[in-house]
A and B are shown apart, each in its own frame.
Chain A
Amino acid sequence: MLGKTAGGLFWMARLLERAENTSRMIETGQRIALTRAGSGADDWLSVLQAAAVAYGYQQKHAEVLPELAIDWMLRDPDNPSSVMAVITQARHNARLVRTALTHEAWEAVNSFWMLLKEALARKVATRDLPKVLSLIRERNALVRGAILGTMLRNEIYDFIRIGTFIERADNTARILDVKYYVLLPSAAAVGSRLDNVQWDTILRSVSGEGGYRLTIGPDVTPMGIAQFLILDKRMPRSLNFCCAKLRDNLNYLATDYDLRLPCHQQADTLCRRFMTHDVAAIFDYGLHEYVQEVLGHLGKLSHQIEIDYRFYG
């Protein structure tokens, strides 16, 4: 396979995942806004932060307003990480790697883009927002389904999965990074209503409310959330889960090519050093420092994959 193609698949998957994450963040923001009084400016700011688009927003707007924040995240042409921009880039990558995709997978991406373009042609009215968000979720699911159901389990598939899990791990780590302070023992001691909302926000932004109840139990605690989002092996958005999948998919490539490269070593290190502790040890070490290091490793790993598999010249 061409190095360029591997890169295109990797980025297509990352961008699709990113769009889904961003739309989930918007959903979370809406949810908070509905459950409390006040402007919600702080909540929207933290949503923007968790989606890693706050900086650009603040360059453009002085004030955080819900409808501006939503528009920014969905379709503002000045935001290169808006859902519209990201899906356009994902489709661009899909076109680039058209020959590596099945007909179904390509059509799913292409129709996603076409429908989104139509849905986001104008500013989305609040009452239409749920419809647009569910369109994004459904269309992403359709793409994932087409990939799962029609693609051979070969290197093409491996690169798609690697892109997906790197982006997802990055996303979860970022949410933890923005919100780590509400999980600190000092904050837990307060036990206020505000914290409950914050915790709820974290779980919702990874679609983890139900999963949490099933695996950890009915009581939402900082320790429990950290355990669930970082170390749980069944939670498909936990760092542990994503890193394990990353390592697995990289290993499939190593087996397939009969060649172990520096990125394999790095993925092993990531799993061994960061995913084998218990949650208490992580808190002892410092949650913030821990998450920062994980983010740094993910960035390095992504770069190493680019080099090892010759994405660029």
Chain B
Amino acid sequence: MKPHRDRLVATISIAQAPGQGKHDPMDMFDEMQGQNGQIRSPYAKFDAWLSEEDAARLRAKSREAEDLFRLTGITFNVYGRSEAEERLIPFDIIPRIISGREWQRLERGIEQRVRAINAFLHDIYHRQEILRAGRVPQEMIANNVAFLPQMIGMMPPGGVYTHITGIDLVRTGPDDFFVLEDNARTPSGVSYMLENRETMLRMFPELFSRNQVRPVSDYPRNLRRSLAASAPAACEGTPTVAVLTPGIYNSAYYEHAFLADKMGIELVEGHDLRIVDGRVAMRTTRGYQPIDVLYRRVDDDFLDPLNFNPESALGVPGIMDVYRAGGITIANAPGTGISDDKAIYSYMPEIVEFYTGERPILQNVPTWRCNEKESLDYVLAHLSELVVKEVHGSGGYGMLIGPAASKKELKEFERKLRARPGNYIAQPTLSLSTVPVFTKSGLAPRHVDLRPFVLMSPEGINVTPGGLTRVAMKKGSLVVNSSQGGGTKDTWVLED
């Protein structure tokens, strides 16, 4: 079986570290210390609290946090290792703090982007106006394996494609946020966002009386409501919602169980489901019961062995037939991968403008598409300064970080780029912001990114304040990837 790639342990692949040579460390923007060592205002109250704390107590708290996580079982499974091996994602006790004003702008930008993604998906699986208008080249879609023909002409219930989206953001300065990647398939990590907050509340209750932090705990309730609001026409009465997991050995199983638990709904696997009376139904102790909305954490390819990969043992044969006949809502809709593909990413500014008629609020990281000759020439000439990514790759597979690469690796990539330029994009190395982490020898700056979680239903869009902050725990490292020792932080959005 091909591993189901968890997007949390799969994304980051950003740019390169400032401080690894070329950049002046003074350029680096620390979200707590600013650029000049002056504590930035969102952190003022926290800094005051911190200065009264002693290191020994914090160290004890830090250990306590780890014990808590281990006990709760918040672990992820590591591929390629013995099946029972479960690892903890390191948790750092210093929160990442965003002011209400900063968040307001981000939130508007995120909403705009998600609305555009959804409109793009609807268009691309129907009339393809954006291709007719020439704003996105036809071959970007035509040659894209993420385009799912089975979705052509299919209107998902309520018109919603991306019920749950994760937008990965990075920051380079006080007002400079960039979207690094959109996650429109099955974004993970939200359980860490929730558990991180719970842990902070348990360990430092006093911090929350000093700071007005916007709560995140409504997320499961909002998710359930949002999913229920997307129920299909076949639904009678209160919608039955369930979470579909690939199973107990999946790297994100903990999260699947966690979300089902918090929403008070069933956690099902493919073999719990059958098609009964025209509906996808789960085997309960009292017989088969129809499901109206299925929050699936199984990739498209594995979702339905009748219609997609016949080898899949994780899916439900015939679920696509029921879906197309209007008997169930699948969240996210199949085929959303066409919108978060790396090649499409570079067109997001055009996509946002095309569907919203507005200027994009959030910036994209400038991207060279290597299938364009001029871009390819530039990329080849500046390979050692750039990050080159495979268009369809994820999790940092097949990626080159120019400034960190050896001569041999650069040569190798040059060859690959010339052979299949259309398979690659390139981006500049960004000077990513840092937030302090708590280390044995005190606070130390580490690079971070942010994944806010966005819910969409026919009733509207809901962005949970904050999201999941991932942090590279090693000095100078930009890899926030949890499978490579990246950690997480609680993310605060303040009520200004």
Please tell me which one of the listed residues B248, B261, B266, B285 contacts residue A96 in the complex, with CB atoms under 8 A apart: B248
Q: A2-B268, A3-B283, A309-B285 are in contact. Are A111 and B71 (CB under 8 A)?
A: yes
Q: Are A95 and B73 in contact (CB under 8 A)?
A: yes
Tell me the minimal C-beta distance from A93 to chain B in angstroms. Answer: 10
A78 within 8 A of B: no
Q: Are B272 and A4 in contact (CB under 8 A)?
A: yes
Interface residues in B275-297 by Cβ distance below 8 A to A read 282-287
Interface residues on B, range: 20 to 34
Residues of chain A within 8 A (CB-CB) of B272 are 2-4
Chain B residue with Cβ nearest A310: B283
Q: Are B248 and A92 in contact (CB under 8 A)?
A: yes
Interface residues in B148-170 by Cβ distance below 8 A to A read none
- Chain A residues within 8 Å of chain B by Cβ, number: 24
- How distant is the Cα of A110 from the Cα of B286 in the complex, in angstroms? 29
Q: Are B283 and A2 in contact (CB under 8 A)?
A: yes
Residues of chain B within 8 A (CB-CB) of A313 are 271, 283
Please tell me which one of the listed residues B253, B266, B284 contacts residue A310 in the complex, with CB atoms under 8 A apart: B284
Q: Are B261 and A310 in contact (CB under 8 A)?
A: no
B257 within 8 A of A: yes
Interface residues in B70-105 by Cβ distance below 8 A to A read 70-73, 84
Please tell me which one of the listed residues B72, B248, B269, B285 contacts residue A1 in the complex, with CB atoms under 8 A apart: B285
Residues of chain B within 8 A (CB-CB) of A114 are 70-71
Residues of chain A within 8 A (CB-CB) of B70 are 114
Tell me the minimal C-beta distance from A299 to chain B in angstroms. Answer: 21
Q: A110-B71, A310-B287 are in contact. Are A2 and B282 (CB under 8 A)?
A: yes
Tell me the minimal C-beta distance from B234 to chain A in angstroms. Answer: 21
Q: Are A99 and B284 in contact (CB under 8 A)?
A: no
Tell me the minimal C-beta distance from A43 to chain B in angstroms. Answer: 35
Q: Are B73 and A110 in contact (CB under 8 A)?
A: yes
B65 within 8 A of A: no
Per DSSP, chain A at the interface is: helix
Q: Are B248 and A6 in contact (CB under 8 A)?
A: no
Residue from B258, B271, B286 having most chain A Cβ neighbours under 10 A: B286
- How distant is the Cα of A258 from the Cα of B71 in the complex, in angstroms? 38
- How distant is the Cα of A1 from the Cα of B289 in the complex, in angstroms? 10
Interface residues in A239-259 by Cβ distance below 8 A to B read 257, 259
A107 within 8 A of B: yes
In the complex, per-residue mask of A222-238: 1 if CB is within 8 Å of any chain B CB, else 0: 00000000000000000
A144 within 8 A of B: no
Residues of chain B within 8 A (CB-CB) of A107 are 71-73
Residues of chain A within 8 A (CB-CB) of B14 are none
Tell me the minimal C-beta distance from B305 to chain A in angstroms. Answer: 15
- How distant is the Cα of A309 from the Cα of B261 in the complex, in angstroms? 22
Residue from A4, A95, A99, A155 having most chain B Cβ neighbours under 10 A: A99
Lowest 6 A-B CB distances belong to which pairs?
A98-B257, A99-B261, A309-B285, A3-B283, A99-B260, A6-B285
Residues of A within 8 A of B (CB): 1-6, 88, 92, 95-96, 98-99, 103, 106-107, 110-111, 114, 155, 257, 259, 309-310, 313
What are 19 contact pairs spanning A and B, CB under 8 A? A1-B285, A2-B283, A2-B285, A3-B272, A4-B269, A4-B283, A5-B266, A88-B84, A98-B258, A98-B267, A99-B261, A106-B73, A110-B71, A110-B73, A111-B71, A257-B286, A310-B287, A313-B271, A313-B283
Given A2-B282, A95-B257, 17 additional A-B pairs, CB 8 A: A1-B284, A2-B268, A3-B272, A3-B285, A4-B269, A6-B285, A88-B84, A95-B248, A99-B260, A99-B261, A99-B267, A114-B70, A114-B71, A155-B285, A309-B285, A313-B271, A313-B283
